[in-house]
Amino acid sequence: MPRTCLCGLPATYQDCCGRLHRGEGAAATAEQLMRSRFSAFGVGDEGYLLRTWHPAARPARVDLDKKVRWVRLEVLESTGGSVVHTEGTVRFRAHYLDRGRPGEMEEHSRFVRLDGRWVYAGAL
């Protein structure tokens, strides 16, 4: 496991996204959920990704490419998604290495509260 959390916050993986992945808490904001999902891609936690995906858009499985290593996250913008909202968006840039070659992908994601928990509802 990574010593520092992949999500970019100044905490260890175990104390940050790891506790969410283990089910010891839930994301309080849409941004926290997005960060924890990025970390889940990084550590290969397919179960967490599926659990935090809106059922209407959730795939049957996530095919994680073991040759892609997620290395850094930049949160570019977020709207709504706080503890008082029911919807929010987060625009981010994710950096990775694909077979040793650097790359990045950018997405503007939508999140909603479902049964009191934040879930990923898809890209805008």
Q: What is the pLDDT of residues 63-97, one digit of tens each?
A: 999 999 999 999 999 999 999 999 999 999 999 99
Return the number of other C-beta atoms located less than 10 Å from residue 66's C-beta.
Answer: 6
Average of per-residue pLDDT across 24-41: 98
Q: Which amino acid is at 25?
A: G
Q: Are 30 and 88 in contact (CB under 8 A)?
A: yes
Could you give the 3-state DSSP secondary structure of residue 103?
A: strand
- Sheet architecture: strand order including 87-98: 68-80, 87-98, 101-114, 117-123
Catalogue all structural domains in the chain, each as residue range(s) with its CATH number.
17-123 (3.10.450.50)
Q: Are 26 and 82 in contact (CB under 8 A)?
A: no
